[in-house]
Amino acid sequence: MTRSRFLAAALLSLLLGTSSLTASRASADDFPERPITVVVAYAAGGGTDVAARIFSSGLAEALKASVVVENRGGASGTVGTGMVAHAKPDGYTLLFGDMGLPVNPALFKNLSYNSDQAFTPVAMVARSPVALLVPPSMPVKSIRDFVELAKKAPKPLAFGSPGIGTPPHLAGVALMNATHIPLTHVPYRGSGPVLNDLMAGHIDLGFSGPGAVEQVRSGKLRALAITGDKRQSIMPEIPTFKELGIDLSVMSYGAWWGIVAPRGTPPDIIAKLNKAINEALAMPAVKSRLEGAGYEVIGGTADEFAAFLKAQHQYWPPVLAAAGVQAQ
């Protein structure tokens, strides 16, 4: 190559690189130019859907753009999650993710995506506590009484949940791992039947979120401890597992939700989305509606959420395997 051709090629390369950088900056400056889709990997009307719709109204206001919530339920959330994993990484398709992100790889063998590599964390949105509940007929008044009773029982106590991989099931697994007590998991189809059988004394314990507050207040159920860093205003008399010295590891946070984008989404768009998410969560109307529905508003940086997800991915597969949960 002659000197003149070399210089021409170098100049062209420089111009193309500058053009690409300028286009990237322009895309972030102009983002969003069309509606953003927030995918909920479950049917409409559930707790995840409710939280997503409250949050998305604030996100639309923060971005001054249309935000559409799309329900893509099926296969314990893996259908909608897979859809986002394979979406174009341009910031216009986001997942309202939950505990299924780190848990489902331990439950399903043939996922269409690699959960810990397919997404870029954007921000945590909210979390919700789960409480350990027992029937009032059980002769225990504290979590320590319960652990002692469980260890002395002639056979493992039975705990109910709405199904494998749900937060109440995972709370039971985390409790077994933390206290070394044996429990037998009894999966149900939904939370209602669990609470009914628990009140009737057909099972020994269960875990539930704010949906069981009335049963606890009326004395139909007894709450022994609750997840979270601090006591909850909705049930301030219930101590946390943490203050009682029981380390539930990543389950100490309870159930949680956050926004992830397809891997490869430009960092400047991730940063713009993170800023908008935190602005949305700080809006009084959004915050009060989420808190009124039983959620604790979180927010934070993308790096904080990434570290949180990494810990979740490291914890659940071995703990679930030790509890006898096998991928199907």
Residues 123 and 139 in one domain: no
Residues 94 and 164 in one domain: no
Residue 156 counted as domain residue: yes
> Which residues, 6 or more positions from 231, have their beta carbon under 8 angstroms from its beta carbon?
237, 238, 239, 240, 243
Residues 271 and 188 in one domain: no
Question: Number of folded domains in the chain?
Answer: 2
Query: Which parts of the chain register pLDDT below 70?
Result: 1-27
Residues 208 and 285 in one domain: no
pLDDT of the residue at 45 = 87
Residues 135 and 228 in one domain: yes
Decide the pairing of beta strands 93-97 and 36-40: parallel
- First-to-final CA distance of the chain: 59
Domain extent for 184: 131-252
Q: How many Å apart are CA 310 and CA 316, to the nearest integer?
A: 11
State both tokens at 31.
């983002």
Residue 316 counted as domain residue: yes
Residue 7 counted as domain residue: no
pLDDT of the residue at 28 = 79
pLDDT of the residue at 29 = 87
Residues 136 and 244 in one domain: yes
Residues 78 and 221 in one domain: no
The sign one gets for the Cα dihedral 91, 95, 97, 103 is negative
Residues 135 and 246 in one domain: yes
CATH number at residue 237: 3.40.190.10
Residues 48 and 113 in one domain: yes
Residues 115 and 137 in one domain: no
Of the residues 227, 252, 277, the one at which a domain ends = 252
pLDDT of the residue at 211 = 80
Contact present, 125 and 53 (Cβ < 8 Å): no
Residues 121 and 258 in one domain: yes
Residue 27 counted as domain residue: no
CATH number at residue 313: 3.40.190.150
Residue 28 counted as domain residue: no
Residue 12 counted as domain residue: no
Residue 226 counted as domain residue: yes
Residue 174 counted as domain residue: yes
Decide the pairing of beta strands 296-297 and 205-208: unpaired
State both tokens at 135.
């029937």
Strand, helix or coil for residue 259: strand
Q: How many Å apart are CA 319 and CA 280, to the nearest integer?
A: 35
> Which residues, 6 or more positions from 323, have their beta carbon under 8 angstroms from its beta carbon?
173, 176, 177, 185
